[in-house]
């Protein structure tokens, strides 16, 4: 059999669009994925810290609003007792802000899929 009867090596070659990626291309993709993961991790940490700060500020604002409201109603005391603070809409808001802050603290402690130590 001659070279032409088998169709030559050109018949074995895959078309350009169906060839698997080269090792160098795979390495580039992995490097890009790692860079994206690290940037995402940094962004999540920043957003989490900002959310914790916002929750703490909301809690403090709710407490100040409660105190101001109590003073306006004539209680005259500089602070509202804990039992009275826990009652009503402002107490509900404060409790919710505390829950959100605690949840965000727990989320910050969770290990992320990729860390700089693993890379």
CB 38 within 8 A of CB 119: yes
For the chain, the domains span 21-109
Q: What is the pLDDT along the chain (119 residues), one digit of tens a residue?
A: 454 555 567 778 888 888 888 999 999 999 999 999 999 999 999 999 899 989 989 989 988 888 888 888 875 555 545 555 445 667 777 778 888 888 888 877 777 654 444 43
What pLDDT score does 112 carry? 64
Q: Which two tokens mark 85?
A: 């603070």
The count of C-alpha atoms lying within 13 angstroms of the C-alpha of 82, restricted to the half-sphere facing its C-beta, is 0
Angstrom CA distances, 70 to 27, 51, 84, 90, 117, stand at 64, 28, 10, 11, 52
DSSP structure string for 65-112: HHHHHHHHTT---SS--HHHHTSHHHHHHHHHHHHHHHHHHHHHHSPP
pLDDT score, position 46: 92
């Amino acid at each position: 059999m001659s070279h032409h009867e088998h169709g030559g090596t050109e018949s074995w070659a895959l078309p350009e669009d169906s060839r698997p990626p080269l090792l160098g291309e795979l390495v580039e993709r992995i490097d890009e994925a790692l860079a994206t993961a690290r940037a995402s991790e940094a962004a999540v940490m920043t957003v989490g810290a900002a959310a914790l700060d916002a929750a703490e500020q909301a809690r403090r604002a709710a407490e100040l609003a409660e105190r101001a409201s109590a003073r306006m109603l004539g209680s005259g005391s500089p602070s509202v007792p804990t039992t009275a603070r826990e009652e009503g809409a402002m107490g509900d808001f404060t409790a919710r802000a505390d829950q959100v802050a605690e949840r965000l603290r727990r989320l910050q402690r969770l290990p992320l899929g990729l860390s700089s130590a693993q890379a």
